[in-house]
Amino acid sequence: MEFPIVLADVDEANTASIHVLERSGMRETKREISGGSPLLYFETTRAEYLLKKHRAQVA
């Protein structure tokens, strides 16, 4: 991962995408209504990504 932070937003009703984001190590940071639809915001940092990758290699 070359970026310092990766951001994602997803419609609250899209549970499959939410699970993919969570399994990839992203964490929910915000909820809001946008255009009448509830949105969830997720992020992960380069440091979090590298730590998760390291733990997976050690396990």
The domains of the chain are located at 5-58
Q: Residue 1's pLDDT band (boundaries 50, 70, 90)?
A: low
7-58 per-position pLDDT tens digit? 999 999 999 999 999 998 899 999 999 999 999 999 999 999 888 888 889 8
Q: Give the per-residue pLDDT at 27.
A: 96
pLDDT of residue 44: 95
Give 2's pLDDT tier (boundaries 50, 70, 90). confident
Cβ–Cβ < 8 Å for 24, 53: no
Tokens of 20: 């993919």
Confirm if 44 and 5 have CB atoms less than 8 A apart. yes
> What is the CA 47 to chain-centroid distance, rounded?
14
The pLDDT of residue 15? 98
